[in-house]
Structure 1
């Protein structure tokens, strides 16, 4: 074996070893199997993570017509009470008494009275009578007089 060729072969083998190590490092850094850091659990129970929720875009409406509002302000207030005790409330407490729809709440009653009679309401108390109807005591603010409003409505 010629000494010059032996020297060249060893030089090539050293050079190829360096390339091999560089390639190995490169491949190792690009591999998809990396050790993932474990997430620390802070709670005992597992909850499914929140995922993307898209808005619905239906091809046709699921109901044929949109539901209409069954309770407008004319249906909320059925009629004012004109009993002696209701008249006493009007005179003494600046409070008007109405029979209202059973499904309404105090806020809807307040809005309906405000819309129909153009008056400001301080508060509304309700009760359900033994006959199944709902009675609403509507207290007016001090700048409105319940007697004047009752006259305007036609109770008195």
Structure 2
């Protein structure tokens, strides 16, 4: 299992930050994501399903992300419906005159003979992607502050 986390302090309210991170129809701040399309369930709520195309570790990936938890303006949890065991969690909290946003990705590639090696080889890229997501989210709000923490 690999877990990568990064966080950022934004100069906006938790509500404004949460509105941006939970609007997957406009997820241009996610660096690896090449396309997102709502394909079922409620729009923007628990059970919402999104077809996602992403590039990661030199591969083109396609899958369906499902919203499992939505607690505005605090928490969003998305999971990949099939294939890779992937959970993306976004936590938002008030901080100073703005808010803190933490993005975490936890995944497992399976139990095959090379699974552990693949996970170890992809850890650095996963950490860079979460850090880039925070940087790009901060850029959307006119500020570029990023902290990467080891998982």
Q: Same fold (TM over 0.5)?
A: no
The structure with more radius of gyration: 1
More strand by share: 2
Greater per-residue helix proportion = 1
